[in-house]
Amino acid sequence: MLILVRHGESTGNADGLLLGRIDAPLTQRGLTQAKAVGPSVAGATRLISSPLARARDTAEALGTGLPVEIDDRWIEVDYGEFDGRPLGLVPDEVWTRWRSDPDYRPPGGESLCEAGSRVRSACEDLFATDGEGARGPGAVVVVSHVSPIKAATCWALGLGDQGAWRLYLATGSVTRISWGAEGPVLSRFNETPWSEPG
């Protein structure tokens, strides 16, 4: 079982920014989300994280007791010159290009196809593992970001990279991919094992 955890809310998420490689820290809400996810990943045999602090801090907050392995393939998409901009200030023509052309690369950034390729490679490596791996009796937890988790979901469903635009993924959410007789199977998507304070 591959358990994909989107990092908890970061300051960039809370401020409505397009957040790629900028290393925004978790908010208190994000830390609370991460801790609430912990019981959902109990019994995991490996814990892998994106190198960005918001993912690493989420991984630690899960409380698994496992060492955190860093895999750069799970880093967020590089939005280039648009990284860190308020979502509403990204030009409409850029959103149109992104949605219509998965090979579109913003200046200084990477395309959805490039990101999808590295994520598929990471998924295939994990599912190729026998024994204590994604295909074995234990679960591998990967703490990552919205775009890589969407790319992994599209991989599991056999969709192209543009399928990501039809998926919504909350911060602090859990997505599960298992291995079926003929390949990956999406078991659950966008679980949120936390609730807002009432």
* pLDDT confidence band for 179 (50 / 70 / 90): confident
Residue 182 belongs to a domain: yes
The pLDDT of residue 142: 98
Q: Which residue, 167, 120, 124, is CA-closest to 146?
A: 167
Residue type, position 55, single letter: A
Alpha-carbon distance 37 to 55, whole Å? 13
For 70, the domain range is 2-191
**76 an active-site residue?**
yes
Alpha-carbon distance 47 to 164, whole Å? 24
- pLDDT of 195 above 80: no
**7 an active-site residue?**
yes
Alpha-carbon distance 63 to 44, whole Å? 11
Residue 34 belongs to a domain: yes
The pLDDT of residue 176: 96
Alpha-carbon distance 93 to 35, whole Å? 39
Point out the catalytic residue in the list 7, 9, 110, 145: 7
The pLDDT of residue 132: 46
* Local structure of residue 164 (DSSP, 8 states): G
* Local structure of residue 132 (DSSP, 8 states): S
Which of the pair, 131 or 190, is modelled with greater confidence? 190
Point out the catalytic residue in the list 9, 69, 76, 191: 76
Alpha-carbon distance 144 to 175, whole Å? 11
CATH code: domain of residue 75: 3.40.50.1240
Tokens of 104: 């579109």
Alpha-carbon distance 37 to 141, whole Å? 11
Q: What is the mean pLDDT of the chain?
A: 92
Alpha-carbon distance 42 to 38, whole Å? 7
- pLDDT of 198 above 50: no
Number of domains in the chain: 1
Residue 198 belongs to a domain: no
